[in-house]
């Protein structure tokens, strides 16, 4: 091999090493299906039963649980750090302004499921809160008519939870496509993953304050909003309304996990600016159109994306533990 070839090979290897060293936070697969088969074989059915009961009690559980999982994974990885309550001098993730809108039903689902799992002597203190949240998210989606999928398990719970760790980690409701892609790419997720995961907005609620700028202001209503939908939102969120007042994110099938989200975007009925931009930007519109046409194609893309999301920043070994109380660090 000539000197030039050696140099080119060395440069290529260096570039590869640099790329690997700077890669996003997807874990190198410490997770696996049926992780608890030997220590708590009934864990998935226990969690599913709790989630089903909670959903029957309050439908907001579905969107609240899905959103909780997303907010958890994007800050320090999928480690249930978002469930931890502030205590003493520490202000936890959940009390960051960007997390104050997380509905209590999501937290309650995790706490109830953990209690039910630990009520089985064989399972006590064997199943992490992070895994319980991952399972509960899958179950909430399936109960709402979405795809059911095998959940990879084996996460440990994070050892810290701080308000400051949330800064800059979550997408804002006004983000454009480049900003969305950048923040998802930081977590090892592609544009296709981002669009599929954005369809989590097919369930749940959004506070009026997150989209009020689209309804009022110098250039309002936002020209990308359907006029009839804009009028509906202006009626539901009048100028003097409490910004914490909430409306359904999907005006057509608000409690069903389906591909209606994409049809809404085609009709100018994306609630957040960061939703509607997926259709108005020609780079992302083809995926919106494809998944509006085919529920099966969307379901496949969503399962692939949420599986990748569940691998972000996974804690193993000395990086984590199994919390006795999901809201309290051990």
- What residue segments make up the domains of the chain, in order of their start? 43-169, 177-308
CATH superfamily of 177-308: Peroxidase, domain 2 (1.10.420.10)
Out of 54, 67, 71, 114, the active site residue is 71
Domains 43-169 and 177-308 share a fold: no
- pLDDT computed for residue 244 by the predictor: 87
Q: Which residues of 66-86 are buried (b: 16+ CB within 10 A; e: fewer)?
A: bbbbbbbbbbbbbbbbbbbee
- In CATH, what is the architecture of 43-169? Orthogonal Bundle (1.10)
71 noted as active-site residue = yes
pTM: 0.90
Going residue by residue through the chain, which has 330 residues, state the pLDDT in tens, using 9 for 90 and above: 554 444 444 444 334 433 333 334 554 458 999 999 999 999 999 999 999 999 999 999 999 999 999 999 999 999 999 999 999 999 999 999 999 999 999 999 999 999 999 999 999 999 999 999 999 999 999 999 999 999 999 999 999 999 999 999 999 999 999 999 999 999 999 999 999 999 999 999 999 999 999 998 787 899 999 999 999 999 999 999 998 899 999 999 999 999 999 999 999 999 999 999 999 999 999 999 999 999 999 999 999 999 999 999 999 999 999 999 999 999
Q: What pLDDT does 17 receive?
A: 38
Binding residues for substrate: 171
| Closest to 61 in 3D by CA, of 99, 103, 100, 101 | 103
CB 249 within 8 A of CB 63: yes
Count of positions (residues) in the chain: 330
Report d(CA 171, CA 185) in Å as an integer: 12
Q: Helix H segments across 144-272?
A: 177-185, 191-198, 227-236, 260-266
Which pLDDT score is estimated for 9?
42
Residue positions in the annotated binding site for heme b? 201
What are the binding residues? 72, 75, 77, 79, 81, 93, 171, 201-202, 250, 253, 258
Cite the annotated binding site for Ca(2+) by residue number: 72, 75, 77, 79, 81, 93, 202, 250, 253, 258
């Amino acid at each position: 091999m000539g000197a030039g070839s050696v140099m080119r090979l060395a440069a290529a290897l260096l570039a590869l090493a640099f790329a690997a060293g700077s890669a996003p936070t997807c874990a190198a697969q410490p997770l696996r299906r049926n992780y608890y088969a030997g220590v708590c074989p009934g864990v998935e059915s226990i969690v599913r039963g709790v989630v089903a009961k909670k959903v029957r009690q309050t439908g907001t559980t579905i969107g609240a649980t899905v959103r909780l999982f997303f907010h958890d994974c994007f800050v320090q990885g999928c480690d249930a750090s978002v469930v931890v309550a502030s205590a003493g001098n520490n202000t936890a993730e959940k009390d960051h302004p960007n997390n104050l809108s997380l509905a209590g039903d999501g937290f309650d689902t995790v706490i109830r499921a953990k209690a039910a799992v630990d009520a089985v002597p064989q399972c006590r203190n064997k199943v992490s809160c992070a895994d319980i949240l991952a399972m509960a998210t899958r179950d909430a989606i399936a109960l709402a008519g979405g795809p059911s999928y095998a959940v990879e398990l084996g996460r440990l719970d994070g050892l810290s939870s701080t308000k400051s760790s949330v800064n800059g980690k979550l997408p804002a409701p006004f983000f454009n496509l480049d900003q969305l892609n950048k923040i998802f790419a930081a977590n090892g997720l592609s544009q296709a993953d981002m669009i599929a995961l954005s369809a989590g907005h097919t369930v749940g609620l959004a506070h009026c304050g997150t989209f009020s700028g689209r309804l009022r202001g110098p250039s309002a209503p936002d020209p990308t909003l359907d006029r009839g939908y804009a009028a509906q939102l202006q009626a539901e969120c009048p100028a003097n309304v409490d910004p914490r007042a909430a409306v359904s994110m999907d005006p057509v099938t608000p409690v069903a996990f389906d591909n209606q989200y994409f049809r809404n975007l085609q009709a100018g009925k994306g609630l957040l600016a960061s939703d509607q931009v997926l259709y108005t930007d020609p780079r992302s519109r083809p995926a919106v159109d494809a998944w509006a046409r085919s529920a099966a194609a969307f379901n496949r893309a969503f399962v692939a994306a949420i599986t990748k999301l569940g691998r972000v920043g996974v804690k193993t070994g000395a990086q984590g533990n199994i919390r006795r109380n999901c809201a309290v660090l051990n």
